[in-house]
Amino acid sequence: MYKDGLTTQEYSFKHSLPIEMLLKDSDFIANKTKPEALITKKPNQIQKTILKAYHDLNLLYIEDDEIIIYEDVRKLEYLFWVEKNLQSLGFKYVEKNEYNEDSHKIITKNYIYTNKKNISILDIQNFQLSDFYLYLSVVMLNKGYSSKNFIYLSNISNNLYNTLNKYLSKNSIKLEKLDISNKVFICRSKNLKQSEKLINSISEFLKTIPCFNDQFFKKTPEASITKKLVFDSAHYITDHDGKCKNLHGGRYDIEITIKDRINPMTGFVMDYSLIKNITKNLIIEKFDHKTLNLTCPELAWRSSTEFLAILIWEILIDYLPNLKIIKIYETETSYCEFVGNSLDEYIKNGPSEILGYFKNLIRENKSSKNAIG
């Protein structure tokens, strides 16, 4: 520790000082001594559970002779909690400062490490969970967030997703898988009732694990953020009296605005890159350089900006329950603003009927007796 029980990085933030002013040459040498190999030590059930969570998250790093767990500086209290629980396995905390030639600044990494001989990765990999909700809590702290009372997990593997649902199903809870692309997906609690049930199941750890409650539920100020994207499409308006009945192209500027609490662990409402990734893969890839009328039944008859806005809302609301408004510019002077149902309402009521007329159209053959005359 640097001073007042704080790390050098924490102290620099507290006093708004460049970390370079606080470092000596010796501070640039991390891991001065190799971690000790504790041949007689065996992980207990709690330690195995924590380590298995990190293993299944692909966050248990093996570098040279060491096993390392990294963490952000804002979650150091949580990292110290992990260190305390793994201390008997030789884990020690390190603040590593390195000069980065690309950014021309000091980059600080916070982590705990131990000798890789102290842990059998194979044993951790094959460990049968006895305390699933501790395991789930570690997973959620590393890859989870809440939005409008729904619980989300991002950047997890298919194997981890299946493991979570295997154990959650015993409590009649299910995580819904939401594909972003062929290789990337997020998942969320199926509905608000199951969200509440899931939270109740980990209530013990929300109280005892540092940063957990703050990350998910601490009351903080709300803010609105907007991400702008662009796509080019052609379309035509069936039965229109003017020129719009003809096929014509244009550029659509789309603004996705979300509103939610500011997460105290990240400083964000949501990372702009996640909004971009979701919208790019689900919306831009679907419509860019295509004829809107031929992309889906909802737009086949009326590919108006209004219908397009409704459709985009209903595609995104599963992934972004904090959607506040969608704004689509068809020209510099013509645009549509739309606010649709909440995710909870969408789950209960389904898609908007206004888009489904032709998609759901079924007509039996009528005899001539029904004709006038």
Task: Examine the fold and report which residue of 186, 216, 246 is the final residue of a domain before the chain moves on.
Answer: 216
Task: Examine the fold and report which residue of 164, 197, 216 is the final residue of a domain before the chain moves on.
Answer: 216
* pLDDT at residue 29, as a whole number: 59
Which residue is catalytic, options 176, 255, 314, 330? 330
Give a yes or no: residue 305 inside a domain.
yes
* pLDDT at residue 358, as a whole number: 86
Three-state SS for 37-89 is CCCCCCCCHHHHHHHHHHHHCCCCEEECCEEEEEECHHHHHHHHHHHHHHHHH
Together in a domain, 236 and 334 = yes
330 is catalytic: yes
First to last CA, the chain: 95
Together in a domain, 111 and 47 = yes
Buried b (16+ CB within 10 A) or exposed e, 270-298: beeebbebbbbbbbbebbeeeebbebeeb
83 is catalytic: no
Domain that holds residue 316: 222-355
**Residues 313 and 338: beta-carbon distance below 8 Å:** yes
List C-alpha distances in Å: 312 to 120, 154, 298, 337, 348. Answer: 48, 21, 11, 12, 18
Q: Does the CA dihedral 133-135-138-140 come out positive or negative? A: negative
Q: What is the CATH number of the domain that holds 25?
A: 3.10.28
Task: Examine the fold and report which residue of 110, 126, 142 is the final residue of a domain before the chain moves on.
Answer: 126
* pLDDT at residue 370, as a whole number: 59
Containing 205, the helix (H) or strand (E) segment is: helix 203-208
Summary count for the chain: helices (H), strands (E): 14, 13
* pLDDT at residue 3, as a whole number: 81
Which residue is catalytic, options 244, 255, 314, 336? 244
* pLDDT at residue 371, as a whole number: 58
Which residue is catalytic, options 15, 289, 306, 345? 289
- The edge-to-edge listing of strands for the beta sheet with 175-179 is 144-147, 150-154, 185-189, 175-179
**Residues 292 and 284: beta-carbon distance below 8 Å:** no
From the CB of residue 219, how many other CB atoms can be counted at a distance below 10 Å?
Answer: 7
Q: Does the CA dihedral 69-74-78-83 come out positive or negative? A: positive
Together in a domain, 293 and 178 = no
The predicted model scores a pTM of: 0.90
Instruction: Report the C-alpha gap between 162 and 168 in whole angstroms.
Output: 10
* pLDDT at residue 36, as a whole number: 73
Q: What is the CATH number of the domain that holds 175?
A: 3.10.28.10
Report the domain count for the chain.
3
235 is catalytic: no
**Residues 279 and 227: beta-carbon distance below 8 Å:** yes
Spell out where the chain has E strands: 61-63, 66-71, 92-100, 105-115, 144-147, 150-154, 175-179, 185-189, 222-235, 248-261, 290-291, 323-329, 335-338
Q: Which two tokens stand for residue 38?
A: 């504790």
Together in a domain, 88 and 161 = no
Instruction: Report the C-alpha gap between 322 and 188 in whole angstroms.
Output: 13
Together in a domain, 43 and 122 = yes
Q: What is the CATH number of the domain that holds 321?
A: 3.30.479.10
pLDDT digits (tens), the chain, 373 positions: 778 889 999 999 999 999 988 888 766 655 456 777 765 678 999 999 999 999 999 999 999 899 999 999 999 999 999 999 999 999 999 999 888 888 888 899 999 999 999 999 999 999 999 899 999 999 999 999 999 999 999 999 999 999 999 999 999 999 999 999 888 899 999 999 999 999 999 999 999 999 999 999 999 999 999 999 999 999 999 999 999 999 999 899 999 999 999 999 999 999 999 999 999 999 999 999 999 999 999 999 999 999 999 999 999 999 999 999 999 999 999 999 999 999 999 999 999 999 988 888 888 776 555 556 5
Q: Indicate the SS3 state at residue 18.
A: coil
Give a yes or no: residue 371 inside a domain.
no
Instruction: Report the C-alpha gap between 46 and 52 in whole angstroms.
Output: 10
Buried b (16+ CB within 10 A) or exposed e, 123-155: ebeebebeebbbbbbbbbbbbbbbbbebbbbbe
- Amino acid (1-letter code) at residue 359: K
Together in a domain, 210 and 229 = no
Buried b (16+ CB within 10 A) or exposed e, 55-71: bbbebbeeeeebbbbeb
Together in a domain, 330 and 275 = yes
Instruction: Report the C-alpha gap between 176 and 169 in whole angstroms.
Output: 12
